[in-house]
Structure 1
Amino acid sequence: MAANDVPVGLIWAEATDPDGRKVIGADGGLPWHVPEDLAHFKRTTSGHPVLMGRRTWDSLPLRFRPLSGRTSIVVTRDPAFEAIGEGSGEVLVRTSVDSALATARAHALEDAATPGSADPIVWVAGGGQLYAATLEEATVASVTELALGVAGDTPAPVLGDEWREVSLTPWRESSAGIHFRIRELRRELPA
């Protein structure tokens, strides 16, 4: 497999704002806490590179950045940005989405070469601008739907009709009392 063939996946949790729009955040963070979604995020992305924008990086608690068991790739326009954290994972900073994707795909291939590793994939973990910039490359989406109304300011990515649901968990109640379910979607890119 060539680096350009490594799939790109999008992963996020979404709630509904008072106007009925799907939102993924508010004021630079998540306006909810669903431990089961965080566990799903860790399970899904572990062993794979994770792209995130600088604001998403900044929203992570210091002790969790960089993400353990993954290479965190932070995309920022600021070439002097230093990604500071106390986590145990590797962190790289890139100043363009193209450079970040190329780096992530190369890391995904390296990670997949380890015996017992999962197939290579790059995960995009937000924020809104990075989802928009990588949507055309993405072929996989993992969406945690929350039965929750919140005032959010960052809209969720909108997936077109070419996306097909491949799995959907039943609604469950989280330990925080929020009902949620997880949708997995796929699409084929035009040749």
Structure 2
Amino acid sequence: MTVHMIWAEAHDRVVGANGAIPWRLSEDQRMFRERTGGATVVMGRATWDSLPERFRPLPGRRNVVLTRDPSWSAEGAEVVHSVEEVDLTGEVWVIGGEAVYTAFLPLADHLLRTRVDLAVSGDTYAPELGDGWVVTSSSGWQTSQSGLRYVVEELVRTGQAAQPGQTAVAG
């Protein structure tokens, strides 16, 4: 079992503002589609609500929505009310938001993180990773079609597949 997490973050770990992502990075969106296609995606209800209606449920994926509301339902969503209810067999990608990332972080083995070189106000944040994570690959800084600078990093927990020379990551 591998629990993957995927997010894009601006400076200060900002991943969202007012129910939306406060930037547009088509390269990151394309990578998200490629990496999560055919897998289970786990998200909170607010993340589900933030998706454009035409993309709900996310096509080509099993959509699991974690919510505290026992009466909530949506067509195409498999509703769960706790982390323990999520079937973690197969390929599972946790896609947000903040509380869901935090809840699944202890179970995660792998993180695909896009860091966007942008200072922006936000109200939703990526979790602090702390010690124990290493960068296993990095795209190096690139400039998107929109002009934003970004870097894509793959991280794993120490001991999961760390190779000599990899950089330890704090927060």
Runs of 4+ in 1 over 3 A off after TM superposition: none
Instruction: Check the 8 A contact 1:53/1:75 in 2, yes or no.
Output: yes
Gaps spanning 5+ residues in structure 1: where?
1-5, 85-89, 109-120
Aligned pairs for 1:49-60 (under 5 A) are: 49-60=40-51
Partner of 1:177: 147
Q: Which of residues 49, 54, 60 in structure 2 aligns to 1:63? A: 54
In structure 2, how many angstroms separate the alpha carbons of the residues matched to 1:185 and 1:83? 33
Instruction: Check the 8 A contact 1:8/1:137 in 2, yes or no.
Output: yes
Deviations 1:44-65 (A, max 9, x none): 1111100000000000000111
Greater percentage in strand = 2
Q: Which of residues 25, 41, 65 in structure 2 aligns to 1:34? A: 25
After TM superposition, give the deviation of residue 91 of structure 1 in Å.
Answer: 2.7
Deviations 1:101-123 (A, max 9, x none): xx2x24x2xxxxxxxxxxxx211
Q: Which of residues 125, 133, 143 in structure 1 aligns to 2:95? A: 125
Instruction: Check the 8 A contact 1:143/1:182 in 2, yes or no.
Output: yes
Q: Which amino acid aligns with 1:167?
A: S
Alignment root-mean-square deviation, CA: 1.5
Partner of 1:80: 71
Gaps spanning 5+ residues in structure 2: where?
161-171
SS at the partner of 2:43? strand
Instruction: Check the 8 A contact 2:15/2:122 in 1, yes or no.
Output: yes
Instruction: Check the 8 A contact 1:50/1:124 in 2, yes or no.
Output: yes
In structure 2, how many angstroms separate the alpha carbons of the residues matched to 1:11 and 1:83? 23
SS at the partner of 1:56? helix
Q: Which amino acid aligns with 1:91?
A: A
The percent of aligned pairs where both chains have the same amino acid is 44
Partner of 2:81: 95
Q: Which amino acid aligns with 2:128?
A: V
Q: Which amino acid aligns with 1:93?
A: V
- Number of matched residues? 160
After TM superposition, give the deviation of residue 74 of structure 1 in Å.
Answer: 0.4
Deviations 1:137-188 (A, max 9, x none): 0010000000111011112111122111100002111121111110000015
Partner of 2:166: none
Q: Which of residues 116, 128, 131 in structure 2 aligns to 1:146? A: 116
